[in-house]
Structure 1
Amino acid sequence: MTSSRWGGLAALLAGFFVLLLDTTIVAVASPSIQADLGGDVSALFWVTAGYLLAFSVPLLVAGRLGDLFDPKCVYLFGMGGFAVASALCGLAPSIGWLIAFRILQGLAAAAMSPQPLTLIRRLFADDERGRAFGIWGSVAAAATLLGPVLGGLLTASLDWRWIFWVNVPLCAAAVVMGVRLIPGSRGGTARFDLLGAALSTAGLSLLVWALLSWSPLSLPAATLAVVLLVGFWFQERRQGADALAPLRLYRSSGYLSASLAMASLGATVLAMALPTMLYIQEMRGFGPIEAALVLAPDAVVAILLSPPAGRWVDRVGGRRPAILGMSLLATSLLLIGLVVVLNLNPWWISVGAALLGAANAMAWSPLSAIAMASVDPEAAGGASGLFNTVRQVGAVGGVAVTGAILAGLESRPGLGFGVVFGFVGVVAVGGVVAAFRLPGVVRVEVG
């Protein structure tokens, strides 16, 4: 039984690694994609933005589908779709088709993403769950930051199309493992809230599009998004146990504080990656592989520390590890920001990257564990979808704001990088405050 549990976790992590890897792997291959398929900078931007948009928006619906139809089935269906979409991305004959196939990838990733939290809760007892979340956190952190490294290696040694084709055998192996090792269930009997799904999908679509596009239509789109999401909130209040997103869980200090801290973590980690890579390459003259190596300690430290961090969570609870992790996050961003603003030797960024890896290791596991421990088992899928939505929208918002700052201060890049790291520093401090508000003892929110 023990081997089946850990084998099931391995099957979950294989798919989760691939979908997070594809969030960042495209960036370093972008010049090769443009040279091969053509298209302007705006089209190239939407190769990544289309994936993020399609990934972020359906997470609430996907989490609820896991409650209704069994998270194992939804996860394996999403993984199969992700493999097909990845193969199509590698075959794309034009930039327009690549964007379309990336949107399909994002939709499949959204189906997969909320299910591991629910399934880990099902697979592991309380005294092992922290360790399992620790391993899950190490994979999540490593995948996000290994993307540029693997993308550079595959593009340089083979062809940009292999950054997508490499997903196919990984997903196929994960599907085979998942069918055999992940436990299934009969699903739930609650009614699916179609109106809530429509309001949340439309509202989140407009909100994420407004954050990503920064066009003249962004303000009216964001305003309409707020109206739709307020309508969604009123709709959810009337649904009770059938709610698409169990917003009542925000009455739990554990779930609320863990969600806010995870949003801060998601926003800052992704938001700092692009400006750091641009600074190292454009301002300091590093090549793509050399620049990726500067940030490599992040992934290495996260991989090494996440499993023992998870065991620490099992022993002492999540609050102290989360506070340490979020504090390390703020410290690492301060150090990287000082290197950039003071124009120090860029290899000092590696020290900040190592601290960032430790922050990821210490924060992912306890925040996820506390959030899911605050949830009644019947609402686990919806709670996981909501938790992932907050994290992903936070990440999109962080990327959008930093992109807007860099674009607005393009003629003064030094000032632009300084403002960017000031922004991510403030967001990180907000995450520290949220971590201090985590409860020492988690109480499950029921009803």
Structure 2
Amino acid sequence: MNSKWGGLTALLAGFFVLLLDTTIVAVASPSIQADLGGDVAGLFWVTAGYLLAFSVPLLVAGRLGDLFDPKRVYLVGMGGFAVASGLCGLAPSIGWLIAFRVLQGLAAAAMAPQPLTLIRRLFAEDERGRAFGIWGSVAAAATLLGPILGGLLTASLDWRWIFWVNVPLCGIAVVVGIRLIPGSRGGTTGFDLLGAALSTAGLSLLVWALLSWGTLSVPATVIAVILLVCFYRRERREGAQALAPLHLYRSSGYLTASLAMASLGAAVLAMALPTMLYIQDVRGFGPIEAAVVMSPDALVAILMSPSAGRWVDRVGGRLPAILGMSLLTASLLLIGLVVMLNLSPWWILPGAAMLGAANALAWSPLSAIAMASVDSDAAGGASGLFNTVRQVGAVAGVAVTGAVLAGLDGSPKLAFGVVFLFIGLVAAGGAVAAARLPMGSVADQNRTSEGERV
């Protein structure tokens, strides 16, 4: 196997499982509750704990990749993820499962920012669109396959296998990655400990407030905003040692790609819970039937993404991203109509296929454009910032969806309508951001960015 494609395979295996685990628990929740007990709040934190631990350390993890070599940080994170997954499968109670899910999230955070940096190292400019396309297909498929694989594994084996299946995948990926992912000595600049403390505390409070929606959410949000403003002011003074390269937001490509990716992450994750509730709780489908209904999204994403990546290499990222985000909006409105009109869940199939096409077309160009304006020695920090924005957007989408469904529990039709209207508006906002992306090929944007830095 060519070393660069083998290295990409190792990256994809790890990235697949960490995104898979953001959604895989949803369909297995009834089985987990039947086995381990606990209330709805406990089940919620099985997913929310993972999202919290995954989202918060991304900035720090991206900077650690710059300092200590992204290959090393990635492989250590993948090993930790395998161990935490095995422990999740052995959890004797809901409390222990939540704790092990937090460990999983921390390991995922170490891994998540590194692939974008390593793809830049593995591939030349004229091949990156294709590589990002394949990476995007895996990223999209993992997020979308979560409920599908969760349903199949829970129905045919046991809910614990939704975690145990990660262990051999991560083990193989570590062995392949040690051999085929290129390493480096890392950077020589320092590490901003105060900035890391401010960002970690601020993001922790913000994500917790988004996920909990309790009586302490408002003061927690206020404190989070104060801490993040202090972090922003410090980062502006730190220069090369800054934890997050906030100067990148002066680049229209990086800013608009980040905003569009945040809306993509929010919309895709936010639609999973209401769609599964409708299919299973309202219409009475089992886990396998629910998996079949949603299967076109992952299948289409996997089939289309490599071609979408080559298209990005030829025409640039703007047109594919606009088309992808527009399809995302249309697919969510279609699925929302099926739910609102109480139609057969089988009418979700075309919407799911459109959702897969949207992910295939959007992931690659948004990632490629964002990373085109980044110096190689700051790629880890830039990837960490890009992933943080995406993940916080996803958490916000899940939080708003959960709050609406809980608040309008007595009026399910109204709740579903508000949720899908919200998700559709978020996706439409992403389409507007995509329309403001720079034109031209990614290679041209790389050369332009390098010229501006000179």
TM-score by length of 2: 0.96
Runs (4 or more) in structure 1 with deviation over 4 Å come to none
One-letter amino acid matched to 1:358: A
One-letter amino acid matched to 2:40: V
Aligned to 2:190: 191
1:218 aligns with 2:217: yes
1:206 aligns with 2:174: no
1:85 aligns with 2:90: no
For residues 236 and 318 of structure 2, the distance between their equivalents in structure 1, rounded to whole angstroms, comes to 30
Aligned to 1:314: 313
One-letter amino acid matched to 1:265: L
For residues 382 and 78 of structure 1, the distance between their equivalents in structure 2, rounded to whole angstroms, comes to 17
CA contact 1:89–1:164 (8 Å) conserved in 2: yes
Residue 343 of structure 1, CA deviation:
2.5
For residues 150 and 336 of structure 2, the distance between their equivalents in structure 1, rounded to whole angstroms, comes to 25
Q: Secondary structure at the match of 2:226?
A: helix
Aligned to 2:382: 383
Structure 2 counterparts to residues 22-421 of structure 1, below 5 A = 22-421=21-420
CA contact 2:152–2:287 (8 Å) conserved in 1: no
For residues 431 and 156 of structure 1, the distance between their equivalents in structure 2, rounded to whole angstroms, comes to 36
Residue 344 of structure 1, CA deviation:
2.8
For residues 32 and 388 of structure 1, the distance between their equivalents in structure 2, rounded to whole angstroms, comes to 31
Residue 380 of structure 1, CA deviation:
0.4
CA contact 1:277–1:292 (8 Å) conserved in 2: no
Q: Secondary structure at the match of 2:244?
A: coil
1:426 aligns with 2:425: yes
1:436 aligns with 2:435: yes
Greater shift, 298-307 or 139-148, is seen at 139-148
Structure 1 residues 93 and 105 mapped into 2: Cα distance closer, same or farther (>3 Å)? Answer: same
CA contact 2:155–2:288 (8 Å) conserved in 1: no
CA contact 1:375–1:446 (8 Å) conserved in 2: no
Residue 157 of structure 1, CA deviation:
2.1
For residues 77 and 65 of structure 1, the distance between their equivalents in structure 2, rounded to whole angstroms, comes to 12
**Unpaired runs of 5+ in structure 2?**
none
For residues 124 and 164 of structure 1, the distance between their equivalents in structure 2, rounded to whole angstroms, comes to 32
Seq. identity, %: 83
For residues 199 and 321 of structure 2, the distance between their equivalents in structure 1, rounded to whole angstroms, comes to 30
Aligned to 1:5: 4
TM-score by length of 1: 0.98
Residue 285 of structure 1, CA deviation:
2.2
For residues 243 and 144 of structure 1, the distance between their equivalents in structure 2, rounded to whole angstroms, comes to 31
One-letter amino acid matched to 1:231: C
Residue 43 of structure 1, CA deviation:
1.2
Residue 165 of structure 1, CA deviation:
1.2
What do residues 380-434 of structure 1 show as CA deviations (whole Å, max 9, x unaligned)? 0000000000000000000000111111111110011001111011111110110
Residue 341 of structure 1, CA deviation:
1.8
CA contact 2:151–2:290 (8 Å) conserved in 1: no
One-letter amino acid matched to 2:374: V
One-letter amino acid matched to 2:341: L
For residues 338 and 162 of structure 1, the distance between their equivalents in structure 2, rounded to whole angstroms, comes to 34
One-letter amino acid matched to 1:324: L
For residues 273 and 328 of structure 1, the distance between their equivalents in structure 2, rounded to whole angstroms, comes to 17
Residue 283 of structure 1, CA deviation:
2.1
For residues 250 and 113 of structure 1, the distance between their equivalents in structure 2, rounded to whole angstroms, comes to 20
**Unpaired runs of 5+ in structure 1?**
none
CA contact 2:371–2:383 (8 Å) conserved in 1: yes
What do residues 183-215 of structure 1 show as CA deviations (whole Å, max 9, x unaligned)? 000100111010110000000000000000111
For residues 307 and 319 of structure 2, the distance between their equivalents in structure 1, rounded to whole angstroms, comes to 14
For residues 273 and 220 of structure 1, the distance between their equivalents in structure 2, rounded to whole angstroms, comes to 29
For residues 344 and 446 of structure 1, the distance between their equivalents in structure 2, rounded to whole angstroms, comes to 55
Q: Secondary structure at the match of 1:340?
A: helix
For residues 403 and 61 of structure 1, the distance between their equivalents in structure 2, rounded to whole angstroms, comes to 28
For residues 54 and 304 of structure 2, the distance between their equivalents in structure 1, rounded to whole angstroms, comes to 28
CA contact 1:406–1:416 (8 Å) conserved in 2: yes
How many pairs does the alignment contain? 446
What do residues 138-184 of structure 1 show as CA deviations (whole Å, max 9, x unaligned)? 11111111112211222222222221111111110000000000000
For residues 304 and 275 of structure 1, the distance between their equivalents in structure 2, rounded to whole angstroms, comes to 26
Residue 446 of structure 1, CA deviation:
4.0
Greater shift, 235-244 or 279-288, is seen at 279-288
CA contact 1:17–1:140 (8 Å) conserved in 2: yes
For residues 147 and 342 of structure 1, the distance between their equivalents in structure 2, rounded to whole angstroms, comes to 26
Q: Secondary structure at the match of 2:172?
A: helix
For residues 106 and 283 of structure 2, the distance between their equivalents in structure 1, rounded to whole angstroms, comes to 37
One-letter amino acid matched to 1:221: A
For residues 184 and 327 of structure 2, the distance between their equivalents in structure 1, rounded to whole angstroms, comes to 39
CA contact 2:130–2:307 (8 Å) conserved in 1: yes
For residues 52 and 45 of structure 2, the distance between their equivalents in structure 1, rounded to whole angstroms, comes to 9
Structure 2 counterparts to residues 15-26 of structure 1, below 5 A = 15-26=14-25
CA contact 2:114–2:383 (8 Å) conserved in 1: yes
One-letter amino acid matched to 1:320: L
For residues 114 and 227 of structure 2, the distance between their equivalents in structure 1, rounded to whole angstroms, comes to 26
